[in-house]
Structure 1
């Protein structure tokens, strides 16, 4: 395992974010429905938070479940959800979260969540590994909005020389047309072709892709619990030199 100054360069402000060695203590939980895990890793603070609701409520949504992973800032506020038009409501809810964050914190945040019902699965994400300046679709959107993707020497791609995310909650340093609080919402029909839903923070996706995670889980599902699989996944990502916090849910659909 490389030391943190080798992974992230010699920038002192970056090194202030990291430990001399990773914290590998894991918070793990699991049952027959889902597995959960979180590990601090190389970071000095674990900024990943998570919530789940099973069922979502005891009334109209009693057959639905909700799972989410989000940054520390979002743990400070609550939001009411209207259920009439789900996609529109999700977008409006994220917009409302964004306004609340402006009032109470001065930081950008991201979130990934899943709503799982009897017939449909919704994946909702903002400000994660899909919303970075390296993603071509995001580059095109930012340029259409009048923004620029820039890169200084020995630095990563940034939006307007500032942000490493192309969408975020709670960031008002740039025009909201350039950095919107707009989540991607993907709807899937629930059918027999999928056995699991996996949602995870950037500490996973920075070093391993969707197909690799799916294969990793499927190869172990017959002889390990879901929380044990998550523990093994964290170990693998640490070996692959992930430098971020790691949090994951594996939800069984069978």
Structure 2
């Protein structure tokens, strides 16, 4: 279930890139956890003939160690591609078929069904491959990992999910798709667990593991006479295909549950949209997401990948002006509070945040982020004026989260 630090580690790992008509940025932060167990993949262009205009992004949320998450970040894509969907894709569609999935592919491109089969085979293949690692086989390493990803072809999204990390697609200014979290309490997942001789207690597999599908976790995959997808914990991904609509598709967000624990799909996408109207720096926006989630009370590792599509929101002069006015308003309010200390002395940061949260005259805060998304601005001016400077990260431990 994880151990926690006395104060969060707020150093971030960032990356960004551009190609194939898309831009991406990412951020990951250890936060309150004793170890960083998240990992990620970002690949613009796949290393295979005819697939250089495809891209792949994924987030992995490790537990009980980072071994499985890190290996999957480096090798899941090659297992998916090595599962044979390139060769399988050369098969023609069935005669008379009218479904999108069975439509004839462009020359040299795999069919939709071949890609979906390759993704599934890749997940099962890497899980079986890692089982042979000596430290995972003999139990000295008991780690596992969720995996959520998206494979983008010029015409399709292929979303894949195993566990409770999540991907969302923002289209036409609304959330139009979200992957499904695999939790032990879900009826279908519970049925499989019970059929394999296990139980669901305190919403966990055998009272211990909080996800019902994952890579690794071999302690839960040793029921004799049952296949890999029939075990207490299954490595089988849920794979969903969607046609791309370039005139409406805006962005995709992939994130671990350290993000989703404190923000809903709509809140996160509304917040990202509002930040894209203020800045085109995708690393900065992803950093704002993880900081906001920390200030909202997330105690987990946090990782987010933002994939911006051609119709992504553009920077607006009006939005930039409003954001600047909000920052200046917050700075002036903090200055006013600290310039007139009460009888008991300078207010602490929690008191400042509490007073600001009750301010009925405040300009509109970023949707989905609220006051928590501006806590870094507030802390900066507080620390510049207060004789009792807050250490970095100490503000994340406030009793109330905004």
How does the TM-score come out when normalised to structure 1? 0.84
Match of 2:8 in 1: 22
CA shift, 1:145, in A, is 5.5
Q: CA RMSD in A?
A: 2.1
DSSP-derived class of the 1:86 partner: helix
Which structure is higher in strand share?
1
Structure 2 unaligned blocks of 5 or more: 89-113, 137-141, 166-180, 311-402
Greater shift in the superposed pair: 196-205 or 102-111: 102-111
CA shift, 1:245, in A, is 0.9
How does the TM-score come out when normalised to structure 2? 0.55
Q: Counterparts of 1:208 and 1:74 in 2: how far apart (Å)?
A: 23
Asked if 1:55 is matched to 2:45, the reply is yes
Asked if 1:149 is matched to 2:200, the reply is yes
Match of 2:70 in 1: 75
Asked if 1:187 is matched to 2:238, the reply is no
Which structure is higher in helix share?
2
1:101-142 CA distance string (max 9 Å, x none) = 222223222111110111101111112241222445533554
Q: Counterparts of 1:74 and 1:235 in 2: how far apart (Å)?
A: 23
Q: Counterparts of 2:259 and 2:235 in 1: how far apart (Å)?
A: 23
CA shift, 1:36, in A, is 1.1
Whether the aligned pair in 2 keeps the contact of 1:74 and 1:101 (CA below 8 Å) is no
Are residues 220 and 74 of structure 1, via their aligned partners in 2, closer, same or farther at CA, if it must alter by over 3 Å?
closer
DSSP-derived class of the 1:243 partner: coil
1:162-187 CA distance string (max 9 Å, x none) = 32210111223234413211011111
**Aligned ranges 1:1-254 → 2 under 5 Å:** 14=2, 17-31=3-17, 33-57=23-47, 59-70=49-60, 71=62, 72=66, 73-76=68-71, 78=75, 79-80=78-79, 81=82, 82-83=84-85, 84=88, 85-104=114-133, 105=136, 106-129=142-165, 130-143=181-194, 147-151=198-202, 157-174=203-220, 175=223, 176=228, 177=230, 178-191=232-245, 192-224=247-279, 225-254=281-310
Greater shift in the superposed pair: 21-30 or 98-107: 98-107
Q: Counterparts of 1:41 and 1:116 in 2: how far apart (Å)?
A: 30
Are residues 94 and 25 of structure 1, via their aligned partners in 2, closer, same or farther at CA, if it must alter by over 3 Å?
same
Whether the aligned pair in 2 keeps the contact of 1:27 and 1:37 (CA below 8 Å) is yes
CA shift, 1:34, in A, is 0.8
Larger relative CO (CA 8 A, sep 6+): 1 or 2? Answer: 1
Q: Counterparts of 2:196 and 2:264 in 1: how far apart (Å)?
A: 29
Query: Which of structures 1 and 2 has the bigger CA Rg?
Result: 2
Match of 1:3 in 2: none
